Amino acid sequence: MPDIQLEPSWLTPLQAEFDKAYMHKLRAFLSAEKQAGKPILPKSSEWFNALNSTPFELVKVVILGQDPYPTPGHAHGLSFSVLPDVKPLPKSLLNINKELLADLKVDNSRCGYLLPWAKQGVLLLNAVLTVEANQSNSHQKHGWEQFTDAIIHQLNQHRSNLVFILWGAYAQKKGAFIDRDRHLVIQSPHPSPLSAHRGFFGSRPFSQTNAYLTQHKITPINWSLDKP
């Protein structure tokens, strides 16, 4: 694992995690994978891109994903997001854009680069922050899950009136401990083509999020993306 470069506001809540045994094992695993010549996605400078794009005290919304896109050139450290030149968009992202259009009449159909959301306070966090190229879920159960659990715990305990968007059973299990009295939790099936028609479409997560933020006198999210 490269030297940790974290946005300063995350250092205090997370510093202790980097000294724990699981993190040392994760470092060793990633180092061995790299030495074996296995391509790791995204590039190492983007492993903590979600945290570095959305400071701790500015988080308003958390959208929890599973692991990075395994297709080279897609992942850049933000859950569900792809780099600006990626075409066609991944199918789950296309379905997210379809629901956004139906929900708020916002048309992002040709854009999948979600950094503008992150800059407004949407933490686009994957449960696992790396993957071997072309091998989905290949870095699961090596320690990343414990680290991202710590992120969610810190937000749950030390922030108020956040919105946690949990799409699919994996995200819902990971977020089961979130305090529903302190935060809004929005749950639905995953936007994957395999499950989107079982309740993701029509779930209106974007308008629900903005209504809750507005109710708590927090500036809502502008979900529209500037076309790159």
pLDDT, average across residues 11-15: 95
Please give the structure tokens belonging to residue 44: 């190492």
226 catalytic residue (yes or no): no
Provide the pLDDT for residue 7: 93
**What share of the chain has pLDDT > 70, as a percent?**
97
Site of tokens 């202790």: 16
What single string gives the DSSP state of each residue in the chain? -PPP---HHHHHHHGGGGGSHHHHHHHHHHHHHHHTT--EES-GGGTTHHHHHS-GGG--EEEEESS---STTT--SSTT---TT--SPPHHHHHHHHHHHHHH----TT----HHHHHTTEEEEESS--EETTBTTTTTTSSHHHHHHHHHHHHHHH--S-EEEEESHHHHHHTTTS-TTTSEEEEE--SSTTTGGGTTTT--HHHHHHHHHHHTT-PPP-------
pLDDT level of residue 70 (50, 70, 90 thresholds): very high
CA atoms of 112 and 225, how far apart (whole Å): 8
Q: Are 96 and 156 in contact (CB under 8 A)?
A: no
CA atoms of 191 and 173, how far apart (whole Å): 16
Interval 165-194: pLDDT, tens: 999 999 999 999 999 999 999 999 999 999
pTM for the complete prediction? 0.96
Could you say which of 3, 19, 67, 226 is catalytic? 67
